[in-house]
Structure 1
Amino acid sequence: MTTQYPLTWPALIPRQKTREPGRFKTTLAQALANVENSLALFGKDSGKAVSNFVISTNYTLTERRPADPGVAVWFTWDGIQVAIPIDRYTTIEANLQAVHQIVEARRVELRHGTLALVRATFTGLLALAPPSGRSWREVLGMSLQGQVTRNDITMQYRHRSKGAATEVEQKELNVARDQAMKETPL
């Protein structure tokens, strides 16, 4: 299952190595409202409900400006689990506003193209979900909070790999390790 916290990032999308300030003039509350409104309008425009909506971030009440401002918006539309991950910008609100703009672009596709075109776009995103839908921290058995090192990841990966009973379990561990390494500073 996709989690709101910590950030659940799609396995096949690389993380940004550098970030830039967003040019969006929005607050976090407004960016959240924009994403929710865009998804509701997209569902209405397409005639297909948007469900299982989750915004996954590293935002907490105690850490409102996390070092990793990435955002992944997950939802189900027309039977397809979609992830729109953005970490290009230095703030959560800018990354959320970018998600809003992407959903609005799908609405434009819908108005000027066809439902099949939009479905094809989102079907391409279908493969981006982690194999089990669990975060790398869950797969590797790492704490859901706090910092981890690359050494911690390697040690836990080796420990879990010894107990992997099937090829599917090993593949899931490999994807989790790769994602963890991408998200963990050197």
Structure 2
Amino acid sequence: MASPTRYPLTWPEGWKRMPSYQRKRATFKSQGKSLTVFDGVQRVLDELERLGVHQDDVIVSTNLQTRLDGLPRSNQGRPGDPGVCVYWQKSAKEPMRCMAVDRYDEVQDNLAAVAATLEAMRSIERHGGAAILDRAFTGFAALPAPAAGQRDWWTVLGLEPDADVEAIRRAHRALAARVHPDRQGGSEALMAQINTARDAGLKKWGVA
């Protein structure tokens, strides 16, 4: 499958999206305080570590820009699309797995939901259901990531489908500053992808 990106969000093909108006405010806490993105990421990594998956074999995909280690960076504004998808591969002999959540309106809470789900599934193994656990995780085998031309423009730009012209242009400028071919880690392919997404979004509003 095509390698999923850490940023922007690579939502797995075939996974249903939660409409923005149905997303909820979560109640996840960390030591009695509001959860941070760092807390959410660490919970996911800890649960996968307990399943024998090393951090180097995990991709946390969100619409938050990443740190140097590739994990989502805290202290950013809330993205238009707070969905998260965690991809992992325990060994080269096993298929890549993924788990995607966009039920809540904050990235950190969707990360915590992934971690809570992993913890619940891990409890199956603790109670002697290793074979059941393996079959359960088979259902999380990652489908091929959609090709760049097949991704919705708002997903590429990290926006909602009803984003207005200014939001589209603002998101495009921010991404262009990051993926421009002259920037480290940028490329002509990524730049073309966000340009195509911008044009598709503006076309919706009748703007060239």
TM-score, L = length of structure 1: 0.66
2:80 corresponds to which of 55, 64, 67: 67
Deviations 1:15-49 (A, max 9, x none): 00120001112221111111111110121xxxx76
Q: In 2, Cα distance between the equivalents of 1:94 and 1:117?
A: 27
Contact 2:8 / 2:63 at 8 angstroms: preserved in 1? yes
Corresponding residue number in structure 1 for 2:8: 6
Identity percentage over the alignment?
Answer: 31
2:44 corresponds to which of 26, 30, 35: 35
- The answer to whether the aligner puts 1:21 opposite 2:25 as a matched pair is yes
Structure 2, unpaired ranges of 5+: 30-34, 66-72, 163-196
Corresponding residue number in structure 1 for 2:100: 85
CA shift in 2, pair 1:108/1:139, >3 Å = same
1:120-135 correspondence to structure 2 within 5 Å? 120-126=135-141, 128-130=142-144, 133=145, 135=146
Deviations 1:150-177 (A, max 9, x none): 9xxxxxxxxxxxxxxxxxxxxxxxxxxx
1:111-126 correspondence to structure 2 within 5 Å? 111-126=126-141
Contact 1:70 / 1:85 at 8 angstroms: preserved in 2? yes
Contact 1:69 / 1:95 at 8 angstroms: preserved in 2? yes
TM-score, L = length of structure 2: 0.60
Deviation at 1:104, TM superposition (A): 0.5
Aligned-partner residue type, residue 44 of structure 2 = V
Structure 1, unpaired ranges of 5+: 151-179
Q: In 2, Cα distance between the equivalents of 1:142 and 1:15?
A: 12
CA shift in 2, pair 1:93/1:117, >3 Å = same
Count of residue pairs brought into register by the alignment: 144
Q: Describe the SS at the equivalent of 1:97.
A: helix
Q: In 1, Cα distance between the equivalents of 2:40 and 2:160?
A: 30
